[in-house]
A and B are shown apart, each in its own frame.
Chain A
Amino acid sequence: MTIRLFRRAMQIGVMVLFVAIPLLNRRGISVLSGSLYSLAIGPVWITDPAIGLQAILTTRAIDLTLLTSLTLPILLTLIGGRVFCSWLCPQNAISELVDSLAGRLGLQRRFPPPITPQARYALLAVVLTATGLAALPLVSLFSAPGILSMQVSKFIYEGRVGPELALIGGIILVELFVARRAWCGILCPVGSVLSLLRTPRTLKVVFSEGAGRVCTHCRACARACQLGLDPVAGNLYPQCHNCGECLDACKIAKDQKPLDFRW
């Protein structure tokens, strides 16, 4: 059983869910409702931390209900890292598909240049500052998972989609022809906020030899990484979102793999 199998099941499940939500809500079944901006699972409300942060900046106030709804995703990220990105986010699923499609078509693309954590957070700071100054929810306009889930609902309810979808088209075009996986790896403000939620014990991919673990330096893991990271070299933070493709790619027997998820 590969990690990928479970991950694909989750990714497809999420996509099915966000088609099912508006269809069911329309028939009055609303145990599940909302979008990847803010979701209700019965009485439990879940809001994207980036969107919660944005609300504090735009309103310069704190709404307690909103604040409470940030608890679950913050806990999930502190424990599991950016598993939302790799396991649940529909934009990541689309980008993965686009990237493998581009590979099969033989399109010439490069990875964006490596980015330091500081550069990623500087970019996020620009978006957040603009959000606060404009007092408009710019993060919402740049949240690909939010837009995707919302626009499915809008299409089912109103029979049309909004201009917000242009962002998704733009991401696909750039990733097809210019820079591989640039959105999830560098630009996405939702992922950047999640990257900030980290402790020394947050789940991560760790490379270590010794104690029967040997690396043959075949580079299968680095080739498998869609974000262009090299797990053997380390420095995976803040781009790595724990998808586990590198672990799947490593062909060394299970108990001797030098790569592992570790808390």
Chain B
Amino acid sequence: MNAPLRPPGAIAEDRFPATCLRCGKCALACPYGSIVLGDLFDGLDLMGTPIIRPRKKPCYLCMKCPPVCPSGALQRTTSRRESVKMGLAAIDHKACLAWQETLCRSCYDDCPIFDRALRMDEQLRPVVDQARCVGCGICENVCPVEPAAITVRPGPGVSS
């Protein structure tokens, strides 16, 4: 499996599997059931670790999980949703309805960093602001195209 999308506040993926205790407290804290725990098919290093699969359920940035982490695999001080760097959304222009001149603004409407991380350009096509996108995956979740035309690539996580 490729690098997974981690909850907000996660440290960089190269250190995450060694730091996470697999205790599951973050998943218990998540009110939306967005955090699932990896299993053997995700690889021995990801088994038991928190993973977000945004097409099934994205992160709604409630910020309840970082402060409960006992190991610091999720940096406990992460509290501002704008400071999260779970990943970065990218739009496949060939699949996106708006970029194919069909009116659609699902991702734009639901982006929690509204009108900043995702903006509509003059032709009413969504554009990602790479500096502001937090990677929560709500856009990927609501995209009406199958498979989603906007997807989140994980990383880089918080720097320490």
Contact = CB atoms under 8 A, between A and B. Distances in A.
Contacts of A34: 23-25, 28, 68, 70
A124 interface: no
A158 B40 CA distance: 15
B48 A150 contact: yes
Given A55-B19, A58-B18, A162-B37, A35 B71 contact: no
Contacts of B18: 58-59, 135-137
Nearest to A25: B28
Contact of B71 (A63, A150, A162): A63
B70 A65 contact: yes
Interface residues of A, number: 36
Interface in A163-184: 163-164
B21 A153 contact: no
Interface residues of B, dominant DSSP: loop
Interface stretch (A37-45, A73-81, A114-122, A199-207): A37-45
A181 to B, nearest CB: 26
Given A34-B24, A34-B25, A158 B70 contact: no
Given A34-B24, A154-B37, A162-B39, A59 B19 contact: yes
A106 B47 CA distance: 38
A21 interface: yes
Contacts of A65: 70, 72, 76
Interface residues of A, dominant DSSP: helix
A28 to B, nearest CB: 7
Contact of B47 (A47, A135, A153, A162): A162
Centre residue among A22, A47, A154 by max chain B CB count within 10 A: A154
B145 interface: no
Given A45-B70, A55-B71, A137-B22, A153 B28 contact: yes
Interface in B34-57: 36-37, 39-40, 44-45, 47-48
B29 A63 contact: no
Interface of A: 21-22, 25, 28, 30, 33-35, 37-38, 40, 45, 47, 51, 54-55, 58-59, 63, 65-66, 69, 135-137, 140-141, 146, 150, 153-154, 157-158, 162-164
14 contacts: A33-B28, A33-B29, A37-B23, A37-B24, A38-B21, A38-B70, A59-B18, A65-B72, A137-B18, A137-B21, A154-B24, A157-B27, A158-B36, A163-B39
Given A153-B27, A157-B33, 15 more contacts: A28-B31, A33-B28, A34-B25, A35-B24, A37-B21, A37-B23, A40-B25, A59-B71, A65-B70, A66-B70, A136-B18, A140-B21, A141-B22, A150-B37, A157-B27
